[in-house]
């Protein structure tokens, strides 16, 4: 990852975190936009039904 890509990812993630907020001040539209931006940068596919992005595909497996 080059410096420009890292900077873009860092900014996208920071914006995403800010948009999460608590239940009374969450920026729902901003959250969706920021999630899509991060998914694009990281090449995360959408779910087959098109409802959101499959970040779970890349999670660390649960320990048993």
**Residue 12 lies inside a defined structural domain of this protein:** yes
- pLDDT (0 to 100) of residue 13: 86
Domain count, the chain: 1
pLDDT > 80? residue 64:
no
| Alpha carbon distance 30, 28 (integer Å) | 5
**Residue 20 lies inside a defined structural domain of this protein:** yes
CA 54 to chain CA centroid, Å, is: 10
Which range of residues forms the domain containing residue 37? 3-58
- pLDDT (0 to 100) of residue 27: 87
**Residue 31 lies inside a defined structural domain of this protein:** yes
**Residue 63 lies inside a defined structural domain of this protein:** no
- pLDDT (0 to 100) of residue 47: 95
Count of Cβ atoms closer than 10 Å to residue 35 Cβ:
19
Per-residue pLDDT tens over the stretch 11-59: 888 888 888 877 787 888 998 999 999 999 999 999 999 999 998 888 8
**Residue 7 lies inside a defined structural domain of this protein:** yes
**Residue 45 lies inside a defined structural domain of this protein:** yes
- pLDDT (0 to 100) of residue 22: 76
DSSP characters over 33-62 = HHHHHHHHHHTPPBPTTSSSB-GGGGSPPP
């Amino acid at each position: 990852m080059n410096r420009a890509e890292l900077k873009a990812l860092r900014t996208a993630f920071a914006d995403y975190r800010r948009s999460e907020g608590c239940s009374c001040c969450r920026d729902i539209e901003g959250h969706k936009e920021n999630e899509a931006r991060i998914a694009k940068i990281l090449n995360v596919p959408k779910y087959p039904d098109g409802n959101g992005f499959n970040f779970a595909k890349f999670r660390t497996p649960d320990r048993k």
